[in-house]
Structure 1
Amino acid sequence: MTVTPVDLASLMCSRLCHDLLSPVGALNNGLELLADETDPAMRERCMELLADSARTSANKLKFFRLAFGAAGGFGDQVDVHEARQAIEALLAEGRNKTLAWLVEAPTLPKAAVKVLLNLSLIGGDALVRGGTLSIGAEENGGQVEIVVQGEGPRILLDAEIARTLTDGEGDSAVTARTAAGYMIHAIVAERGGSVQVSQPADGVLILGATLNAS
C-alpha cells in the first residue's frame, strides 16, 4: 500500500483531532457546569478547569502546527528555540515528565526539526509513568544527527510505531497512531538518512535519526 500525501495529511488530522478531543470536551463540559453553578467556590473551580483545558488545547495546537504543519516559515532553517518551547509545553501536560535540552545550535534545517519534534512526540508518549526526555541534535559534515532518549520507571514503545519508524509501511497500513513514525521515516528516507530504534531496556529508550542537511 502506498501512502499518498492526501492520505498522510488525513492521518495527521486524525491524530490532531484525537489529541484535542479530551481538552476541548473538558472545555465544553466546564462551560455547561459554569452556566448552572451558583456556588462561588465551585464557579472558581470551574474557571480553573477551563483555564487548564484551554492551555492544554493551545499547547497541543502549537506543537502539532510545528511538527506536522508549515510553521516556522518557508525558509530552510528553523529557530530551535521554538521547537524547545513546543516540546516543553507538551511534556508539561503529561505526568511528571521533564525535558533535558542538549541542542546548542540556534537553528536547524526544517526537515530535521520536524524529525526531532516527531521523535520527541513518540518518546514522550512512551514515558507512560513519567520520566525525563533528553534531546540532542547537531549538524556536522553536511548531516544532522538527532538523538531522543527517554528515561523512566515504565517505558512502552508501540511495536507498530517502532516498525514504521525503521521500515515505513511494512506489511500493515499506516494509521493515525503510526502516522508520526511514517512521517519521520519518509522525511529521513528523502534526505538519504536512516532511523535507529533501541528497544526499551533498563528504563531507557533511545531513538535516533541521521539525515542530510540539504
Structure 2
Amino acid sequence: MTIDPVDFASLLCSRLCHDLLSPIGALNNGLELLADETDPAMRERCMELLAESARTSAAKLKFFRLAFGAAGGFGEMVDTREAQQAIEGLFGETKRLTVNWMVDEQFLPKTAIKVLLNLAMIAGDALVRGGTLDIGGEANDGAIEIVLKAEGPRITLDDELRATLVNGAAGETVTARAAAAFLVHEMVAGADGKVLVSAPGENVLLFGAAMRAR
C-alpha cells in the first residue's frame, strides 16, 4: 500500500502531539497553580512538578527529533550514544523500565538509528507494567541486525502494530497509533530487509530487524 506523504506526515504529527500533550499540559497546569498559590511549601512543590514536566518534554522532543525527524546536525552516520541517550531520556522519568544497552557499534546509518529508536518506543509501550528492555545491534559484511528483548510481568502488543511491523499497511488504513510501526517496516523494506516479531510468549517479546547497511 502507498500512503500519500502528506497523510503520513500528519500521522506522525498526531503521534508526536499525543505523546507531548501530557507533559506540556502538566506545565500549563503547574503554572496556573503557581500563580494562585501563596504557601511556600506548595510553591516549592509546584516548581518541582514544573521542572519534572519540562525535563520530560525536552526528553521526548529529543527522542522524536531522532526517531521521526530529519535529524539535522547529523550526517549519514549517527553516533549510537545519541540514540542511547534519547531512549534513556524517553523512559528515564517513568522509572518503570530498565534499559540495557548492548550496541557495540560506535556509529550506525541514520536509517538504522531510526529503526532502532522506533522499535524501542514500540517495545517500551508494550511493557505496560514496566520491566526490562534489552537493545542490541551490530553491523557485519554490509548488513545491520537490530534485536530488542522486552521482558516484564505484562506485555501487550496489539494485532495492528504486529501486522504493520511485519507486513506494512497490507491494504489497510494506517492509524496514528501504528505510524511508527509503518515507518519501521518501510525503512527496513527500503533497505532490502525484513522485520520479525516473536509469537506472544510468557512475559517475553522479541523484535528483530535485518537490513542492508546504506
TM-score > 0.5 by shorter chain = yes
Listed as ranges, the matches of 1:156-175 within 5 Å are 156-175=156-175
What letter matches 1:154 in structure 2?
R
> 1 CA distance for matches of 2:198 and 2:19?
26
Which structure 1 segments of 5+ residues have no match?
none
Q: 2:118 corresponds to which residue? A: 118
Q: 1:89 corresponds to which residue? A: 89
> 1 CA distance for matches of 2:10 and 2:94?
26
Is 1:95–1:129's contact at 8 Å kept on the other side of the alignment? Answer: no
Root-mean-square deviation (Å) = 1.1
Offset, 1:72: 5.4
> 2 CA distance for matches of 1:48 and 1:200?
40
Task: Note the alpha carbon deviations across 1:91-146, whole angstroms, 9 max, x for none.
Answer: 11334201000000100011110000000000000010000100000001110000
Which structure 2 segments of 5+ residues have no match?
none
Q: 2:190 corresponds to which residue? A: 190
Q: 1:46 corresponds to which residue? A: 46
> 2 CA distance for matches of 1:7 and 1:55?
30
Helix, strand or coil at the partner of 2:176 = coil
Aligned identity (percent) is: 65
Listed as ranges, the matches of 1:18-167 within 5 Å are 18-71=18-71, 73=73, 75-167=75-167
Normalised by the length of structure 2, the TM-score is: 0.97
Aligned length: 214
Offset, 1:191: 0.5
Normalised by the length of structure 1, the TM-score is: 0.97
Following TM superposition, the consecutive aligned residue runs of length 4 or more in structure 1 with deviations greater than 4 angstroms are none
Q: 2:16 corresponds to which residue? A: 16
Offset, 1:70: 1.3
Helix, strand or coil at the partner of 2:199 = strand
Task: Note the alpha carbon deviations across 1:2-42, whole angstroms, 9 max, x for none.
Answer: 31222211111110000000111110000000000000000
> 1 CA distance for matches of 2:112 and 2:201?
26
> 1 CA distance for matches of 2:94 and 2:124?
8
What letter matches 1:190 in structure 2?
G
Offset, 1:76: 1.8
Task: Note the alpha carbon deviations across 1:45-72, whole angstroms, 9 max, x for none.
Answer: 1001101111110000000000000115
What letter matches 1:46 in structure 2?
C
